[in-house]
Amino acid sequence: MIDSGSLKYFLGVEVTRSKHGLFLSQRKYVMDLLADIEMHDNKPTGTPIVKNHELGIYVDQVPTNKDRYQRLVGRLIYLSLTRLNIAYVVSIASQFMHSPSKDHMADVMYILSYLKSAPGRSLLFKKNDHFDL
């Protein structure tokens, strides 16, 4: 084994140490995701989901590209590891992976617009003097 120094990046998670504690972020992952789907011109949003959303499976829904939807939701599931603020909306989006519609895809794009507003948000694990959980 080789000592490579302090941890900086592991499985898409950036690790930063400070006097306050340990920060875990997936900023590069978010930026790569937004670049892959070419969301350069989209306007950022302030919330991860539309108020009073009515997602569901309806008879008259217009289907969308199932593979693309599943791939995007899968990437959002991995991203919710450090972005707990999107965990709820990603869980809602993942319920429709078997038959996504254009409305479902629009909501996934809305989540991505929210991520564009603050791609570098992170988790902070504070330093303390005890080892209690």
pLDDT of residue 69: 92
> Which tens digit of pLDDT belongs to each residue from 15-65?
888 888 888 888 898 888 888 888 767 787 777 777 666 777 766 778 888
The total number of structural domains that make up the chain: 1
Whether 59 is in a domain gets the answer yes
Whether 115 is in a domain gets the answer yes
Burial class (CB in 10 A: 0-12, 13-18, 19+), 104: buried
Distance, in Å, from the CA atom of 123 to the CA atom of 120, rounded to the nearest integer, reads: 10
Evaluate if residue 97 carries a pLDDT over 80: yes
Whether 30 is in a domain gets the answer yes
Whether 133 is in a domain gets the answer no
> Which tens digit of pLDDT belongs to each residue from 114-126?
988 888 788 888 8
Distance, in Å, from the CA atom of 62 to the CA atom of 124, rounded to the nearest integer, reads: 41
Whether 28 is in a domain gets the answer yes
pLDDT of residue 52: 65
Whether 4 is in a domain gets the answer no
* Domain housing 64: 9-126
Task: Tell me the average pLDDT of the chain.
Answer: 84
Question: Which tokens in the block code for residue 127?
Answer: 């330093």
CA-nearest of 70, 76, 83, 75 to 119 is 83
